[in-house]
């Protein structure tokens, strides 16, 4: 499922995988980013590649570039990240497991 896209020289994001409702990237906030992170953690997370020439709005260009870069790194290293989290909390999970 695609959550970030570039269309008509603007960047967009979506928060609901069941609806085709897109918001402009310059309207994104902390809660929206956490929702996108949840989608990236749980399943398929697709996004349009960042291409500077396709984003004419300077604010959209900067925001999309940074968000795309962070989510691309996360999705690429998702397994390593999950393994690291599990290893960090392994002793606590074993200790308090019922």
How many domains does the chain contain in total? Answer: 1
Q: Which domain holds residue 14?
A: 2-96
Mean model confidence pLDDT for the chain: 92
* The predicted structure's pLDDT at residue 72: 94
77 compared with 67, residue with greater pLDDT: 67
- Give per-residue burial for 5-37: e unless 16+ CB within 10 Å, then b: bbeeebbbbbbeeeeeebeebeebeeebeebbe
Over residues 22-27, mean pLDDT: 97
């Amino acid at each position: 499922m695609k959550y970030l896209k570039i269309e008509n020289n603007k960047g967009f994001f979506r928060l609901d995988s069941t609806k085709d409702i897109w918001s402009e990237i310059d309207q994104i906030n902390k809660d929206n980013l956490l929702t996108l992170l949840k989608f990236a953690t749980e399943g398929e997370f697709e996004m349009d590649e960042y291409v500077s020439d396709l984003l004419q709005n300077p604010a959209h260009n900067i925001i999309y570039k940074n968000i795309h870069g962070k989510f691309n790194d996360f999705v690429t290293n998702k397994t390593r990240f999950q393994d690291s989290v599990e290893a960090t909390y392994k002793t606590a999970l074993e200790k308090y497991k019922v």
